Amino acid sequence: MCGLFPFPLVSGNSDKIDELRRRKAKSQSGGGQKRISAQHAKGKMTARERIQELLDEDSFTEVDALVEHRCRDFDMDRNVIPGDGVVCGYGTIDGRLVYCFAQDFTVYGGSLGEMHGLKICKILDMALKTGAPVIGLNDSGGARIQEGVASLGSYAEIFFRNVRSSGVIPQISVIMGPCAGGAVYSPAITDFVVMVEETSHMFITGPEVIKTVTNEEVGFEDLGGATTHATKSGVTHFTAKDDHVALDIVRELVSLIPSNNLDIAPSIETSDPLERSCDSLDTLVPEDPSRPYDMGEVIQEVLDLDSFLEIQDGFAPNIIIGLGRLGGQSIGVVANQPMHLAGCLDIDASVKAARFVRFCDAFNIPLLTFVDVPGFLPGASQEWGGIIRHGAKLLYAFAEATVPKMTVITRKAYGGAYDVMSSKHIRGDYNIAWPTAELAVMGAKGAVQIIHRRRIDSSKNPEQERQRLVDDYEESFANPYKAAALGYLDDVIVPSETRSALVKALGAILEKEEPRPEKKHGNIPL
Ligand code: HXC
C-alpha cells in the first residue's frame, strides 16, 4: 500500500517543514541576542529592523536567507550563519517597488565575504532588470579578512554593477556603521549617500594607518564622520541624527524621483494654488547690489509648500541644490546663494551642482535654476585647484542636459557664469528675469575701471567722474532689457508672479524632445 502512495507520509513532511523553520529561524536571529543587544546599546537598529522601518508595512520579501559562506580557513566551517551577514530582498515604498540590502553587523561584523557580496549582486541585478531603485544599508567591517581575495572579488562585482546601473536606476546608500577601505567606493558611485551622525564613518585608511604613514593624529569622527563628509569632503548628501531619521530621508527621496531612466518624474496633486502670488519676492532683493539676501526664501516661496528637500546643505553653501515640487511635479533646483561668497561659483559649488544636474538629466527630472552670480571665485588657490576644469563640469552638465530647463535671473548674471547657469545659449527652454536682474560681462565698478581708466585718471575730479561713469553704466547695462531685446530672455516678470509663470512654462515644456548626436559617451572634464 505504502509503495503505491505517491507522496511521502505526513509525518515525514512535518519533519522537513520543521527543518526549514529551524534554518529560517537561525537566519533570522543573525549573530545572536548578545550581539543584537550590543548593536542596540550603540543606538543602532539591526539590519532587519532597518528594513522593516524603511519599507511599507509587511511589504518585505526576503531573498537568499539560506545562503551560506563556503570559507574553510580559520575554522570558519564551524561558524556558518545562514544569510551570511546581509539581509536582502524587495518591498515597496509608498507602494512603489524597491530592492534593498542591509548588512548585519551582528554577523562577522557585517563583513563582506564572497557569498555576502554575491547576495548583494543578485539584488543589484534584479533591481536593474525590473527598473526599480536600489537602497543599500551599509554597516560593515569591510572585506571579510578570513575570505581574502574572494571578498575583494565580490566587492569588485558590486562596483561593476553600481557603474552599469548608474543613470538607469536610482541607487541610494545609507551608511549606518563603519564603511572603510575600498568598501567606500560602492556608496561613492551611487547617486545619494546618507550618513548617520556619530555611528557611521567612511574613510579609505583609518586613524591608525594615517598615524603610522603620515604621523597625523586624527580621530574617527574628525576623519570620516557624518559632519566631516557633509561639510568638508562633500561625500555625503544627507546626515541624520539617528537610524530612524536616515530611513525617513530615504523614503522622502524615493517619493521625489522616478524608478528608472525610462520613467517620467513623479507628479502628485498639490493643494498649493498654482497661481499663488509670491508677494514677499517683490521686496526681497536689496537695492544695494552688494547686499546679500537668502535665495532659500525664493525657493520656498516659489515651490509647492514644504516640498523642498535640500541636498548637501552643509557643503559649498554658495550653491543650493535639491529636489522639490512645482505644481505637484518633481523638479530639481539649482540656485546661487548670495549669502555665501556672494553666490560666486567655486570648485566645490561647480562639482556639487554639476553632479546633481546630471542626476536630474539622467532621470528625466526637469531643472529650475535661480541665478544671482557675480562670477567664478577669484584666487590663486581656485586657479591652482583647477577651477577651469571643475567649472567646466557645470557648463558641460547644463549644456548636455535635455530635460526641461527653466532659469530665473533674480539679480547678477555676470561673465562666464551667466553663460554657465543654464542660459538660453546652452539651451535653456524658458529663461526669464526679474526687473532687478543685471546681465553683463561684469559689475559696473569693475567695468568702469577697465574701460575708463585713462579718462578717470585725467579728470580734474577723478572720484566724481568715476561715480558718474558707474551710474551711466548701471543705467545702460545693469538691467535685463538688453538681453530681453536680443531674445536671450523669454520674458521679464514681476517677482511675485514667478510661481505662476513657472507652473505654466513647465506645463508647456514638460514633454519637449531634444535629440542630441548619437555617441558612446561624452568626455566630461573630470
Ligand atoms: C572579519 C570582522 C571584520 C572583518 C569586524 N569583524 N571586521 N570579521 N572581517 N573585516 C568581526 C570581529 O572579529 C568581531 O567578531 C565582530 O566583527 C565585531 O567587531 P568588533 O571589532 O568587536 O566591533 P567594534 O569594536 O564595533 O569595531 C568595529 C570595527 C573593527 C571598527 C569595524 O571591527 C575593525 O576595525 N574591523 C576591521 C576593519 C578593517 O580593517 N576591514 C578591512 C578594511 S579594508 P566577534 O566574533 O568577536 O563578534 C577593506 C577593503 C575593501 O575593507 C576592499 C574593497 C575593494
State the pTM of this model.
0.95
Q: Rounded to the nearest whole angstrom, what is the distance from the C-alpha of residue 105 to the centroid of ligand 1?
A: 9
Q: How far apart are CA 165 and CA 116, in angstroms?
A: 20
Residues 213 and 315 placed together within one structural domain of the fold: no
Is 314 among the domain residues? yes
Minimal-distance CA residue to ligand 1 atom 20: 109
Q: What is the pLDDT of residue 6?
A: 66
Residues 299 and 331 placed together within one structural domain of the fold: yes
Q: What is the pLDDT of residue 233?
A: 97
Q: How far apart are CA 50 and CA 176, in angstroms?
A: 10
Q: What is the pLDDT of residue 33?
A: 95
What cell does 242 get?
Answer: 539617528
pLDDT digits (tens, 9 = 90+) for 481-502: 999 999 999 999 999 999 999 9
Domain that holds residue 287: 279-442+479-509
Q: What is the pLDDT of residue 7?
A: 64
Distance between the two ends of the chain, CA-based, in angstroms? Answer: 76
Q: What is the mean pLDDT of the chain?
A: 95
Is 274 among the domain residues? no
> What are the φ/ψ torsions at residue 466 (nearest 5 degrees)?
-60, -50
Residues 235 and 339 placed together within one structural domain of the fold: no
Residues 189 and 336 placed together within one structural domain of the fold: no
Q: What is the pLDDT of residue 446?
A: 87
pLDDT digits (tens, 9 = 90+) for 290-326: 999 999 999 999 999 999 999 999 999 999 999 999 9
- Ranges of residues in the chain with a pLDDT under 50 are 1-2
CATH number at residue 83: 3.90.226.10
Q: Rounded to the nearest whole angstrom, what is the distance from the C-alpha of residue 31 to the centroid of ligand 1?
A: 14
What cell does 459 get?
Answer: 579728470
Q: What is the pLDDT of residue 2?
A: 46
Q: Residue 270 — left, alpha, or beta (φ > 0 → left; ψ -120 to 50 → alpha)?
A: beta
* Closest of 122, 137, 188, 126 to residue 159, by C-alpha: 188
**Catalytic pick among 30, 31, 141, 181:** 181
Q: What is the pLDDT of residue 474?
A: 87
Minimal-distance CA residue to ligand 1 atom 18: 109
Domains contained in the chain, number: 3
* Closest of 488, 467, 474 to residue 438, by C-alpha: 474
Q: What is the pLDDT of residue 5?
A: 63
Atom of ligand 1 nearest to the CA of 201: 31
Q: What is the pLDDT of residue 9?
A: 56
Is 265 among the domain residues? no
